[in-house]
């Protein structure tokens, strides 16, 4: 039995390839681990705000001496961190927008990566504080980035591995629906991605 957090960041609702791929990963996990629970976090339906001064002040204010507006400013970060900490497995749907992750997902990460909560420099070196999590990335792209001439434009997966690794999440597996805009590939891109899932 696993606690699964299903993170959606495509703006295309149920037509989304990354969401469908992520849902297929969740289904396989639920089959594999009967009794699992799934928490949905749709970052397009419920947006995380871009970081403003109030958020930064709150991030660095000691909780026992809160800044004015602290509670309101910190709530998104607290929520994102709590949901990740509670999960055993996190499935992240990632549509590629302009060679990288959507800003909705970046905003969520900006609230999740927080000094003293998900990472620490206390030992003098950065230490990730999010332990024992498994992440599956469900990446959908119009082009093909896993190999071929566009591979050097594959910024999203390395970035996600870096930022999640920074907070301690290193057990990451990627599945892709790629070539969703390429003639000859687009008809089968999603199904090929779904068929490749092993959990």
Ligand X SMILES: Cc1cc2nc3c(=O)[nH]c(=O)nc-3n(C[C@H](O)[C@H](O)[C@H](O)COP(=O)(O)O)c2cc1C
The binding site for ligand X (CB under 6 A) comprises 10, 12, 16-19, 95-99, 140-143, 180-181
Least distance between ligand X and beta carbon 11 (Å)? 7
Least distance between ligand X and beta carbon 139 (Å)? 9
Question: How would you label 45-81 residue by residue, b for 16+ Cβ within 10 Å and e otherwise?
Answer: eeebeebeebbebbbeeeeeeebeebeebbebbebbb
Instruction: Report the residue number, 87 or 96, with the smaller CB distance to ligand X.
Output: 96
Question: With 0-12 CB in 10 A as exposed, 13-18 as middle and 19+ as buried, what is 13?
Answer: exposed
Instruction: Report the residue number, 117 or 176, with the smaller CB distance to ligand X.
Output: 176
Least distance between ligand X and beta carbon 40 (Å)? 15
Least distance between ligand X and beta carbon 122 (Å)? 38
Instruction: Report the residue number, 22 or 134, with the smaller CB distance to ligand X.
Output: 22
Instruction: Report the residue number, 112 or 140, with the smaller CB distance to ligand X.
Output: 140
Least distance between ligand X and beta carbon 165 (Å)? 23
Instruction: Report the residue number, 59 or 108, with the smaller CB distance to ligand X.
Output: 108
């Amino acid at each position: 039995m696993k606690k699964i957090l299903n993170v959606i960041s495509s703006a295309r609702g149920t037509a989304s390839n990354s969401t469908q791929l992520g849902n297929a990963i969740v289904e396989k996990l639920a089959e594999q681990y009967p009794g699992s629970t799934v928490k949905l976090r749709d970052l397009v339906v419920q947006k995380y705000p871009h970081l403003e001064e109030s958020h930064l002040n709150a991030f660095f204010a000691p909780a026992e001496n809160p800044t004015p507006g602290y509670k309101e400013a910190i709530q998104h970060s607290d929520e994102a961190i709590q949901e990740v900490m509670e999960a055993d497995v996190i499935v992240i749907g990632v549509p590629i927008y302009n060679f990288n992750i959507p800003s909705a997902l970046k905003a969520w990460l900006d609230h999740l990566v927080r000094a003293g909560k998900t990472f620490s420099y206390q030992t003098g070196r950065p230490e990730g504080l999010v332990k024992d999590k498994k992440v599956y990335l469900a990446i959908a792209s119009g082009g093909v980035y896993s190999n071929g001439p566009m591979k050097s434009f594959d910024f999203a997966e390395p970035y996600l591995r870096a930022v999640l690794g920074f907070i301690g999440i290193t057990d990451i597996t990627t599945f892709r629906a790629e070539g969703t805009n390429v003639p000859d590939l687009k008809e089968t891109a999603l199904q090929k991605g779904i068929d490749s899932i092993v959990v």
